[in-house]
Amino acid sequence: MPKFIVKLTDDQGNREEYGNSGVRENFEERMKRVEENGSSHRMGQSAEDILMNNRAEEDESELTYEEIVKKYCHERPPLVESPA
């Protein structure tokens, strides 16, 4: 299965997230493509292109790009708790 880094961000530029599968190899080169195209895909596919036909919903139905950003960036709890 192909592995890509995908930059998820909303129209206001809030909360960018990067995938972590297979990212150590050629990291700087991959991140340059992420910033230029929205993903590390070598053919220049955008995050929207890569996320088409996904099965990201609980019942494995497709979510739109905007729904994925909302679910996995805005509504996801923080990975690390902030100190009180």
> How sure is the predictor about 1, in pLDDT bands with cuts at 50, 70 and 90?
very low
Neighbours of 50 (CB within 10 A): 20
Predicted TM-score of the model (pTM): 0.56
- Measured CA to CA, the distance from residue 46 to residue 3 in angstroms comes to 14
Number of separate domains in the chain: 1
Domain, as residue range, for 82:
1-84
Q: What tokens does 80 get? A: 């690390």
Of residues 2, 1, 5, the one with CA closest to residue 30: 5
DSSP character at residue 22: T
Q: What is the pLDDT of residues 17-71, one digit of tens each?
A: 555 555 566 788 888 888 888 888 888 888 888 888 998 888 999 999 889 888 8
